A = this chain, B = another copy of it.
Amino acid sequence: MPDEQQLITRLPQSEIEVQVRYIECDPMSVAHHSVYPVWLELARTQWLRDRGMPYSELEQQGVLFVVARMSIRYRKPARYDDVLLVRVWLAKGGKPSRVKVDQEYEIRRGDELLATAETTLVCVDRQGKPQAIPAQIV
């Protein structure tokens, strides 16, 4: 099995494309700020998939992740039908931990940076108790 450093080198980041849905927009005709966490989650999901660990399988094995911290900086609005690129990677400055993972994100529309974000996830079991993150993931 490849070690952590190799995986990070080989898969420095994951990215997904999302198209802004009509229902995601508010009366200001821009994507509501509460939708960004959903897009971040979709990017994280892809990041797990890229490591060969779809979240649906992890969940069946009793390996769950909960969001302990989320911080988003909104720079420019996203509009209906915009195609956005959401990128996620492991935070470099994140302290290594058996049960936590720090990630950073950016949301772009072409060359424009619309938002940046950071999350801390905690790996838990079905009862919500912290447990070690499977070795393949980080």
Binding site for B on A (CB under 8 A): 21-23, 25-30, 32-35, 37-38, 41-42, 45, 54-56, 59, 64, 66-74, 77, 79-81, 128
Contact = CB atoms under 8 A, between A and B. Distances in A.
A27 B65 CA distance: 12
A55 B80 CA distance: 9
7 contacts: A22-B45, A37-B37, A56-B80, A66-B77, A68-B73, A68-B74, A70-B74
A44 B69 CA distance: 21
A26 B27 contact: yes
B34 A41 contact: yes
Nearest to A126: B28
A118 to B, nearest CB: 9
Task: State the copy count for this chain.
Answer: 4
A73 to B, nearest CB: 5
A73 B54 CA distance: 26
Given A70-B33, A128-B77, A38 B21 contact: yes
Contacts of A81: 54-56
B33 A67 contact: yes
Given A23-B38, A34-B37, 19 more contacts: A21-B42, A22-B32, A22-B55, A23-B26, A23-B34, A23-B41, A25-B27, A27-B29, A30-B66, A33-B37, A55-B81, A56-B79, A56-B81, A59-B80, A66-B74, A69-B71, A69-B73, A70-B70, A70-B72
